[in-house]
Structure 1
């Protein structure tokens, strides 16, 4: 074994590395877990006790020499690469700049904001960490409503009254609490729901909600606002329909569908061969919500709507997996 160690020390002293491939060969032979050192230390276990002190000392010398030589070879290879780079660099060449692109969600969000701003809506933002009152109670959610249960909402365990907002409606409540009608605003932002992640659902996503409160606001105003929005975003030929639905914070409530802009209503996989695709929900603000914010529902009325930005983006660009928006895959992002 002493002869083996001596042979390896001699090999290390003579070792050279002109490039990264030769450096890697040295590492694999002497430094890696399957290299010479590991093999020798396994053999060392069988050495008689009276020889362990002497051979163990030589093994440690070998190990130290291998590590020092490896660092020396790294410096040589890097220095060589640096020297070559210095001589090969042509400073007259133009710089190679790889430009990024606007994220598809940002593109669609900015376009949505632009459309509503032209209709007189301002943009409001609010906290992503919210209390129960602003996220549920003020929005007319009964205490036993399923949305309050843990499978839907991320509650902060140290304080069950604090949670990650499940919609941007909390901004509507804060807006009405601290101001006086009329209100005409949209609320884009990120929301969180405790859902299984799949191609069609995620635990966080982006919403944009809208609120208009004033005297004599009617369902007709809501319809005209959304008609204009759909035609601006999806095209002049887009049709829109409202289906009766239920939301605790609006009465009456309606789901918003638009005619499929891919097949023009003929039926395709995007619209599941119905000719229509759902983009969000809407309705007239429930009087209880107005009262909880200190607004007299006998004097004022209003409408609200909400839609998922990811869903609209997926429809607009025919993207079939919501997870692509948050994976930072440049091959996907460069398409936009």
Structure 2
């Protein structure tokens, strides 16, 4: 199989279902050898099974591609290290890391338990940090040995992390953290040949179909464009994971249906400088004038 990722080795976490599965299949279709990671848990993170990862591996192989399964917990140091080792031991190299694994435990803030907060932050945010840390350590060593890689990391954020989402305080906080992690990693790791970007996808998966059942349903008409199919997001991910995206780093993209948007983050807006300390009344008056001149924020998902 040949394509823009021919010769590359891609690791995709949470690749047993949904977006991760679509990404793994798309990388393989473009010539990459793929490490398919999935812990095989339910939508809330409960239970474990090696089945989903192995099923994707078999699907890739059935289409003439190369893949290997990894069923470790990438939110642990040992699991993340073994993920990188799986690529190196099996294929002798690692070129692309796609951090995608996650699950939901939605609650309104006053009903959100500490365990549900910790679990979601752990799998999303820590589950991005640890694979990134171990992959970057390998790539840094390669660069210092004179073998500067063409390395790519694609992190998975969410509109919830950019705008907020009612009933998803834990998930929104984790996804916002992933954006911050992406920006720092891009700045720190560029010298070693590593580019780091993030996507904020919208697609029909186990995590979204219950919440957005009406808007994410597959079309009834045969051959109609399925706007919410996970595979619509994957072409951008594959490009970001390839050598073709040279020079693109520290960016966040929204991807949904046939639409790709470059997201522009926090930038200074209207400002006022007294040149001395404000009184509370003065600060309030100045802030009110600045807000009147500022662009309104985007609406929080689910807000009435």
The answer to whether the superposition gives a TM-score over 0.5 is no
- Flag the structure with higher strand content: 1
Q: Which has the higher contact order (CA 8 A, sep 6+)?
A: 2
TM-score tier by shorter-chain length is under 0.3
- Structure index of larger Rg: 1
